A and B are shown apart, each in its own frame.
Chain A
Amino acid sequence: MEKGELYITTSCVIRDNQITRNGALLWETSPEMELPDFLRAAYDHFSGQYPKFHKMDNLCKLGWLATEVLLQDKPLAGYAPEETGLILTNRSASLDTDLKYYSTVKEFPSPALFVYTLPNIVMGEISIRHGFKGENIFFTTDHFDMELITAYAEQLFSENAVSACICGWIEVMNQQYEVILHLVEKDKQTYN
């Protein structure tokens, strides 16, 4: 996404039970480990200091975890809360949690699950964790649509609506998941 003055300064990818930052493998578990166990183990490994994590659905856990890894060595403290944006996308929106919530409806509808039946809740969780108060938008696409994300991000930067923006793809449906997050900034900085 090196267009105009924008640069991807850090990336985090989570898939196949492996977590990489800027292309380097940071941590992995057996590929057979199921997603909830993988998420719990990754939480213990990378943080272990955020009890709200355990209330989240898998989409939010994935987004929270990827952002944690993305910003671990590069916190965005240099930007005002209002300058930091989020542009996230996926295919299944919150369908993974929708099915879980709906299974509770006949007996006792669960407010704790219902609140996660919107895909943008992951941006709320990330914003609460890191204090981001700027632009946010959630697109659903059938693939990781870098072109759409780039076009929207470029416009946000050109309007001075953001100075830093976390962009990417956070998909989960049952055991299938994939996260690709990029930190996009105006200044080119070398990978850590």
Chain B
Amino acid sequence: MKSVYVVADNILSPLGRTTEENFSIVSRGQSGIQLHENRALSVHPFYAAMLPPGQLERYWSEDSLDTYTKFEQLLILSVQNALDRTTIDITDGRTAFIVSTTKGNIELLEQQSDPANAPLKEMELFNTAKKVAAYFNYNQDPIVISNACISGLLAILTARRLILSGRYDHAVVTGADVVTQFVLSGFQSFQAVSSEPCRPFDAERKGVTLGEGAATVILTSKEAYIPANAIKVGAGAVSNDANHISGPSRTGMELSNAIQLAIKGSGLTQTDIGFVSAHGTATLYNDEMESKAMQLAGLLDVPVNSFKGYYGHTLGAAGLIEAIIGMHALQQNLVIPTLGFETLGVSQPVKVNREIEQKDMQHFLKTVSGFGGCNAAMIFSK
């Protein structure tokens, strides 16, 4: 059977322009989360991981990107940096261009004095993705995935599936979301926003902290493009709780099912997993559900971490950003600690670590869960 490998990657976030910059800051234990007083976004001060004004403009090369929205610039700059690291010609007709987002250009709604005048066409996710793909002279239809908080990981899984099916040889998988009044007010209306930087799996956790950013992976099944020591993209699976549209499963059984399918589909067992990069949003119910899923899946002996304390919840970018941090941690034999975590506050004794650990390992598991009851799990290997 064909195998799919990661050729290049990028993370563009408040922590930096490249994966290397991001990974270096994360591995030093620093966070992009800060207190913001921005009345356009919220009448109350709020914690979030946001790009400071001017950060994206500094990343423009000779081309001005001022005809693109912030969301589009995030995607373009992230894809550009990843493409600079490979010789794959994405206009060859054999490459998928996959975009993951939850809210895309929703900020355009907030920029109107009268929302009735919102440019609806520019807010269509496919239309936006087409504009971004066209920047790279990609003229086929892009593939857009909008599946709540599992979108980013599901985009990688979809790329793998479409490459294995023979439809494509390569894929550009990119995703982004922006912190907006729209999303912040929504999470606030649910009383789900933490009054301090989020604390995944902690006994004192108080909810999510939002974040923004973009990330990209370029995948291939063609030997000629696979660099030495490339990460192999293993099997993955998606499940639905069939329980509640805005609350997770009570048992964790459905996430556990997806995890077990991913492990088995990759020809592995639980003891092969070096660490689990969990979703870990730091809401009471999500982290509790995940702990039950880890128990059901037989993963209580495996280190579990959440990267939300570094990036906040970046929604459609989260699965991508966190998978990429996980890949680099795997390559460097490091288990990244869960920033914000002090005392375990879930019912199952999951192994959440506070200090960075060195560990020889070959594989890690990435999981995500989201509104609509969706879960996804995927394996990445050396």
Contacts and interface: CB of A to CB of B under 8 A. Distances in A.
Interface of A: 81-82, 86, 91-93, 95, 98-99, 101-103, 105, 109-111, 114-115, 117-121, 123-125, 127-128, 130-142, 145, 148, 151-152, 154-156, 158-159, 161, 173
Given A118-B102, A120-B146, A142 B238 contact: no
A138 B110 CA distance: 25
A95 B162 CA distance: 28
A147 B256 CA distance: 32
Contacts of B134: none
Given A92-B124, A133-B241, A161-B237, A114 B190 contact: yes
A95 B240 contact: no
**Residue among A98, A117, A137, A158 with the most chain B CB within 10 A?**
A137
B371 A118 contact: yes
A127 B244 CA distance: 9
* A-B interface, 10 closest residue pairs, ranked by CB to CB distance from nearest: A124-B372, A114-B186, A109-B189, A127-B242, A111-B189, A109-B185, A127-B240, A155-B165, A124-B245, A140-B125
A151 B167 contact: yes
Given A114-B190, A141-B141, A98 B374 contact: no
Contacts of B143: 139, 148
Interface stretch (B51-59, B115-123, B359-367): B115-123
B144 interface: yes
A166 B161 CA distance: 18
B368 interface: no
Contacts, number: 160
A111 B102 CA distance: 17
Contacts of B371: 115, 118, 120-121, 124
**Residue among B115, B146, B165, B237 with the most chain A CB within 10 A?**
B146
B240 A123 contact: yes
Interface string B134-156: 00000001011111100000100
Contacts of A152: 158, 161-162
Contact of B181 (A99, A105, A123): A105
Given A82-B257, A102-B109, A140-B124, 19 more contacts: A82-B239, A109-B188, A110-B189, A114-B190, A118-B102, A118-B371, A119-B147, A121-B372, A124-B240, A128-B373, A133-B254, A135-B238, A139-B144, A139-B146, A148-B141, A152-B162, A155-B162, A159-B161, A173-B120
B186 A99 contact: no
Contact of A132 (B165, B182, B240): B240
Given A91-B124, A105-B185, A136 B240 contact: yes
B127 interface: yes
A99 B125 CA distance: 15
B132 to A, nearest CB: 14
Interface in B241-300: 241-246, 254, 257, 261, 265
Contact of B239 (A92, A95, A133, A139): A133
25 contacts: A98-B103, A98-B106, A99-B109, A101-B186, A102-B110, A102-B182, A105-B181, A115-B190, A118-B148, A121-B371, A121-B372, A124-B373, A128-B244, A130-B242, A131-B242, A133-B239, A138-B145, A139-B146, A140-B144, A141-B144, A142-B124, A148-B143, A152-B161, A155-B165, A161-B261
A145 B124 contact: no
Contacts of B243: 128
Contact of B246 (A115, A133, A155): A115
A114 B187 CA distance: 8
Contacts of A156: 161
B344 interface: no
A140 B158 contact: no
Contacts of B118: 99
B164 interface: yes
B182 A98 contact: yes
A91 B121 CA distance: 10
Contacts of A151: 162, 165, 167
Given A121-B372, A159-B265, A137 B245 contact: no
B326 to A, nearest CB: 22
Contacts of B225: none
A134 B240 contact: yes
A111 to B, nearest CB: 4
A151 B315 CA distance: 26
Contacts of A109: 185-186, 188-189
Given A123-B372, A133-B257, A140-B124, A128 B242 contact: yes
B374 A136 contact: yes
B112 to A, nearest CB: 10
Contacts of B146: 93, 118-120, 138-140
Contact of A120 (B110, B181, B237, B374): B374
**Residue among B164, B167, B190, B372 with the most chain A CB within 10 A?**
B372
A155 B265 CA distance: 14
Contact of B145 (A81, A101, A115, A139): A139
